Amino acid sequence: MKIAIINGPNINLLGKREPKIYGTQNFLDFFQELKDTYSKIELIHFQSNIEGELIDKLQEIGYSFDGIILNAAAYTHTSVGIADAVKAIKTPVVEVHISNVWARESFRHNSLLSPNVKGVIAGFGMQSYELAIQSFSSFIK
Ligand code: DQA
């Protein structure tokens, strides 16, 4: 099974960025732990701060991978382009957020992506990503 984690803007700052909200762990360290735990799954990670690069990656892998875990970060709330890409591709997408976006500012309550994803996991810290991996085994046979 091939699963990609795609992270959007500022997720590269995890560990240094607002630790009360996002925790103290660097994403790359966490990703290595995920790869060790889920060694039978082919897991890849891509991060970009650039909207078009996220769209390019969704298009590139969105017809061949079994699952995409997408934390589009701030673009979740603004990007018609990423929403259209999620709708266009064949690979199921699970939308992930580290924080509980509904417990935060009102501009974070709306996601342009949610109508076209398989489901949304938010508010469990870094464990949101792990729950997303586990969710794929329930609907990919
Ligand atoms: C986030 C929530 C977004 O509102 C925010 O812009 C982020 C991260 C999260 O993982 O909690 O950058 O997607």
**78: in domain:** yes
pLDDT of residue 141: 44
Kindly give the distance from the C-alpha atom of residue 119 to the centroid of ligand 1, in angstroms, as a whole number. 16
The total domain count for the chain is 1
Q: Is 6 exposed, middle or buried (0-12, 13-18, 19+ CB in 10 A)?
A: buried
Mean pLDDT by 10 residues, the chain (141 residues): 97 94 93 94 97 98 98 98 98 98 97 98 97 82 44
Range of the domain at 57: 2-136
Residue bearing the CA closest to ligand 1, atom 6: 74
Q: 91 lies in a domain?
A: yes
In a domain, 141, yes or no: no
97 flagged as catalytic:
yes
Instruction: Specify the CATH number for the domain of residue 88.
Output: 3.40.50.9100
Q: What are the distances in angstroms from CA 125 to CA 89, 116, 133? A: 27, 23, 14
Residue of the CA atom closest to atom 12 of ligand 1: 73
Q: What pLDDT, on a 0 to 100 scale, did the predictor assign at position 139?
A: 58
